[in-house]
Amino acid sequence: MDETRVDETRISRRDSLLKLGGLLAGGVAVGGWKVADSLSAGEGPEAVASGLVSCVLAPEQTEGPFFIEDQKVRRNITEGRPGVPLTARLTIVDVSTCRAIRGAAVDIWHCDAGGVYSGTTSATEDDRFLRGIQRTDAKGLAVFRTIYPGWYTGRTVHIHVLVHIGGNVVHTGQLYFPDSLTDAVYRRSPYNRRPNRNTRNAADSIYRNGGKRSTLRLRKSSSGYVASITMGVQRS
Ligand code: FE
């Protein structure tokens, strides 16, 4: 990995917390990164159900076994991995007000076209491809350049996401793709070298728990796609 590039400032997760924590006050700093798992998922939907707000709380979903701390702040996370180009446009809003949240750190990671995560096996332990952090702008938007993820056994196609604000992980989730689009993408190289993915959205045990609300909107863009979603989060 080239760590000298200006746009790839390597920051540790704790450093990022300290730096980003100053941008947005509020919330009580807590130790550990599993805090999002303990958030009450009921509060947000109730607020939405009150009719006062129209944004949707992004469902909490497991971080899974392939999270790695210490990611780079960088927009382009491909590191040359082959695949169909994907621009991910992730907008973070406060679920109680629907207002954009500026300065949130959005951390994403996903497997490559062959279903492999960087940093998880002896073959990839020093790699960090398809992992990175971006901070949201004034419109709450974080943009990543990546590739359409591949698949691995037992899971439907997904991108993992963590959002942290002011010292708290405020959202742990997964982002999904329409199966029909995945079918089309997987007919292309290099995905077509691994046909017969074995789990689609409806059969995925994690997707079933709210994944529909975390399905990306996709539109074609030159040779690839732009994937967009707005995620409502609770600040603390
Ligand atoms: Fe995963």
CA 26–ligand 1 middle distance (angstroms): 30
Measure 71 CA to ligand 1 centroid, in angstroms. Answer: 16
Q: Give dist(CA 49, CA 51) in Å, integer.
A: 5
Q: 108 and 147 in contact (C-beta within 8 Å)?
A: no
Cis status, amide bond into 190, omega within 30 of 0: yes
Tens-digit pLDDT profile for residues 155-200: 999 999 999 998 789 999 999 999 999 999 999 999 999 999 999 9
Residue 51 pLDDT: 55
Ligand 1 centre to CA of 60 (Å) is 14
Span from the CA of 66 to the centroid of ligand 1 (angstroms): 7
Of 129, 17, 114, residue with least CA distance to 68: 129
In whole angstroms, what is the distance from residue 58 CA to residue 224 CA? 25
How many whole angstroms from 213 Cα to the centroid of ligand 1?
Answer: 17
pLDDT at residue 84, rounded to an integer: 98
CA–centroid distance, 204 to ligand 1, in Å, is 12
Ligand 1 centroid distance, CA of 107 (Å): 13
Query: How many angstroms does the Cα of residue 14 sit away from the middle of ligand 1?
Result: 23
Exposure of 117 by Cβ count < 10 A (0-12 exposed, 13-18 middle, 19+ buried)? buried
101-113: per-residue pLDDT in tens?
A: 999 999 999 999 9
What separation in Å is there between the alpha carbon of 123 and the centre of ligand 1?
18
Q: How far apart are CA 21 and CA 46, in angstroms?
A: 27
Nearest residue to 106 via CA among 73, 139, 152, 62: 73
Q: Determine the pLDDT at residue 50.
A: 59
pLDDT per residue rounded down to tens, the chain (236 residues): 332 232 323 333 333 333 333 333 333 233 222 223 333 333 445 555 555 445 788 999 999 988 988 799 999 999 999 999 999 999 999 998 999 999 999 999 999 999 999 999 899 899 999 999 999 999 999 999 999 999 999 999 999 999 999 878 999 999 999 999 999 999 999 999 999 999 999 999 999 999 999 999 999 999 999 999 999 999 87
Distance 2 CA to ligand 1 centre (A): 25
CA distance 213 to 175: 9
Question: Would you state the structure tokens that stand for residue 71, as one six-digit string?
Answer: 């990611």
Give distance in angstroms: CA of 51 to centre of ligand 1: 34
C-alpha of residue 172 to centroid of ligand 1, in Å:
12
Q: Would you state the structure tokens that stand for residue 112, as one six-digit string?
A: 């490559």
Q: How far is the CA of 159 from the centre of ligand 1 (A)?
A: 7
